[in-house]
Amino acid sequence: MSILDLLGFGRSSDSKSADAGSTETVRRIVQKLDALEPERARYVASFAYILSRVANADLEISDEETREMEKILVDLGHLPEDQAILAVQIAKTQSRLFGGTENFLVTREFKELASLEQRHELLHCLFAVSAADDSISSAEEAAVKQIASELGFTHQQFAEVRSQYNEKREVLRGLRQG
């Protein structure tokens, strides 16, 4: 199974006409993603999707959030930049289109694939993505809290990680200005 299948963009039996319109660059990137070991592709796909889930929590994925997701997939996912860009774009589209129905399922799959350390790393990455535009909205914070719960973190564990991002939290900015 390819990463495109995992993200809902698998090829259908009549995909030859779609291939004719594809650019060579896109085809090369798709081949590179397809070359990932299936379990690794599932991990990367679910990781990227969960990042985009938080970025889309306020119904807007900023350029800064997109760049942060790509950087995370390069740095932590060890993907070449072209693969990271494609994985993020696909994940963003899937999150926008199917977020409500897929969120829990993808997060549950990630939890099954990831070690405790990897899940903890993802929790930090979720805050990093939401803070990429210099502000963590209430909607983004609520989405991170929901995902943390789905990943099996206690409220205390969530709060410990969240505290590292207090200067970016909108809810606390209002208190400091008041």
**Where are the chain's structural domains?**
3-10+23-177
Sign of CA dihedral 11, 48, 25, 21: positive
d(CA 86, CA 70): 9
Secondary structure letter of residue 136 according to DSSP = B
Q: Quote the pLDDT of residue 8.
A: 54
Low-confidence residues of the chain: pLDDT under 50: 9, 11-22
What is the value of pTM for the model shown? 0.81
Here the tokens at position 22 are 């594809």
CATH superfamily entry for domain 3-10+23-177: TerB-like (1.10.3680.10)
Q: Which long-range contacts (CB under 8 A, 24 or more apart) does 76-80 make?
A: 76/121, 76/125, 77/44, 77/47, 77/48, 79/44, 80/32
Check residue 40 and give its pLDDT: 85
The pLDDT of residue 35: 77
In this prediction, residue 39 carries a pLDDT of: 85
DSSP label at residue 168: G
Cα angle value 11/56/132 (rounded, 5°): 115
At 132 the pLDDT is 95
Which pLDDT value is given to residue 143?
96
